[in-house]
């Protein structure tokens, strides 16, 4: 075997065969905000490429999860750093990352739902587990179709072009915003996202609807991803903020997962027709009740988690 063969094998395992990358970009505390953005994009692109082969093979569903997270973090970085960047360039790149995220999302969501549903069914008596397998089977069939669409996207020239655009972005300084005005500092990016979260919380009623909590989750996630961008420059205060935002995201994420699971179980039941099997209806009802109980429990936790975030932002 030639010496090039092991290198090709390693590149295939990490996805780096898809695009040529420069030497990893690193950022230090004294570097410019734009350089920190470039380093963040570099880090997330390499993570995405690392999980590309596993996403394709499907051997471990965690690869798809991590690939999707990398895409989301790059989109969040570009959104948070938009005041620093050429807006047209940043928006175009975000749009293509949005397309990729939309291609990965349905399979990941079904993976999560299948894990959740199978875990719940495992706690039920055998006769109820058998009835519940009807619901599982419907999700499995849906996942097969979603995975075929995802694989088509990963094989498409559009995906290759996106990788080239991202690689090109990290090879040289990023295109800066036009104009003579002063550029915001990294801490300003964090505070901007924090203010958006604060305003949304202020508008929320005492017992907000599920949709409002989901919107707060998204804003909290954007704050977290923006903070990740600034951590190399701002240090321990941001590290503490990241811990707080991770907890908020977990609480609101658990609430959203329960809401989505309840909705999906109801829709699966509806898809079985006008007269579904009574055993399946009974099991679906038990599962819906569990998910509603979980969602309500999380409603009692999110405000305290948010207040911790607010205190950590004040320290940055």
pLDDT at 268: 94
With 0-12 CB in 10 A as exposed, 13-18 as middle and 19+ as buried, what is 236? Answer: exposed
What b/e sequence results for 258-267 when a residue is b if at least 16 CB atoms lie within 10 Å of its CB, and e otherwise? Answer: bbbbbebbee
Tens digits of per-residue pLDDT, 4-30?
444 444 444 555 568 889 899 999 888
User: pTM of the predicted model, to two decimals?
Assistant: 0.87
DSSP 25: P
Q: What is the pLDDT of residues 249-270, one digit of tens each?
A: 999 999 999 999 999 999 999 9
Please identify which residue in the block is written with the tokens 């300084």. Answer: 173
Between helices 87-121 and 61-80, what is the axis angle to 10°?
Answer: 150
pLDDT tens for residues 275-295? 899 999 999 999 999 999 999
Q: How many CB atoms lie within 10 A of CB 189?
A: 25
Query: What six digits make up the tokens of 103?
Result: 């291609």
What average pLDDT score do residues 230-242 get?
94
Better-predicted residue by pLDDT, 173 or 12: 173
Domains and CATH numbers, the chain: 7-15+22-170 (1.40.20.10), 184-316 (1.40.20.10)
Q: How confident is the model at residue 5, as a pLDDT?
A: 45
| Rg, Å, the chain Cα set | 22
Evaluate if residue 313 carries a pLDDT over 70.
Answer: yes
Instruction: Say whether pLDDT at 2 is over 70.
Output: no
Longest dimension (CA), the chain: 71
Of 250, 231, 306, nearest to 80 (Cα)? 231
> Across residues 206-211, what is the average pLDDT?
91
Question: Where do we find the tokens 């999906």?
Answer: 264
Return the percentage of the chain with pLDDT > 90, whole number. Answer: 85
Question: Which CA distances in Å does 11 have to 59, 112, 205, 227, 266?
Answer: 18, 29, 52, 31, 44
Contact 251, 305 (CB under 8 A): yes
Angstrom distance (rounded) from CA 242 to CA 245: 5
Confidence band of 3 (pLDDT split at 50, 70, 90): very low
Per-residue confidence (pLDDT) for residue 273, from 0 to 100: 87
Please report the pLDDT score of residue 280 as a whole number: 95
Query: Can you give the pLDDT at residue 206?
Result: 84
**Which is higher by pLDDT, 181 or 32?**
32
> Within 13 Å of residue 266, how many CA atoms lie on the same side as its CB?
11
In tens, the pLDDT along 38-73 reads 999 999 999 999 999 999 999 999 999 999 999 999
Which 3 state secondary structure label does DSSP give 316?
coil
Q: What is the pLDDT of residue 8?
A: 45
């Amino acid at each position: 075997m030639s010496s090039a063969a092991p290198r090709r094998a390693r590149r295939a395992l990490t996805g780096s065969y898809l695009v040529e990358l420069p030497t990893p970009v690193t950022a230090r505390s004294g570097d410019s905000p734009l350089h920190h953005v470039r380093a963040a994009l570099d880090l997330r692109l390499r993570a995405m490429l690392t999980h590309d082969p596993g996403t394709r093979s499907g051997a471990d569903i965690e690869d798809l999860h991590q690939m999707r997270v990398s895409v989301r973090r790059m989109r969040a970085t570009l959104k948070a750093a938009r005041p620093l960047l050429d807006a047209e360039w940043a928006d175009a790149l975000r749009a293509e990352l949005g397309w990729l995220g939309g291609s990965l999302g349905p399979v990941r969501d079904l993976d999560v739902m299948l894990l959740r549903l199978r875990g719940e069914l495992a706690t039920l008596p055998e006769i109820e587990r058998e009835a519940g397998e009807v619901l599982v089977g419907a999700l499995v069939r849906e996942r097969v179709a979603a995975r075929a669409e995802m694989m088509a996207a990963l094989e498409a020239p559009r995906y290759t072009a996106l990788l080239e655009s991202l690689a090109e972005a990290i090879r040289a300084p990023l295109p800066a915003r036009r104009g003579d005005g002063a550029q915001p500092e990294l801490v300003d990016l964090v505070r901007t996202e924090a203010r958006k979260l604060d305003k949304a919380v202020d508008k929320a009623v005492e017992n907000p609807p599920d949709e409002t909590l989901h919107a707060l989750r998204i804003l909290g996630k954007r704050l977290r991803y923006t903070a990740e961008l600034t951590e190399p420059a701002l240090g321990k205060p941001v590290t503490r903020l990241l811990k707080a935002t991770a907890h908020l995201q977990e609480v609101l994420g658990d609430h959203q997962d329960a809401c989505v699971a309840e909705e999906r179980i109801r829709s699966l039941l509806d898809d079985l027709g006008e007269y579904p099997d009574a055993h399946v209806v009974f099991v679906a009802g038990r599962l819906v009740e569990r998910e509603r109980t979980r969602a309500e429990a999380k409603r009692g936790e999110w405000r305290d988690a948010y207040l911790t975030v607010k205190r950590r932002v004040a320290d940055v």
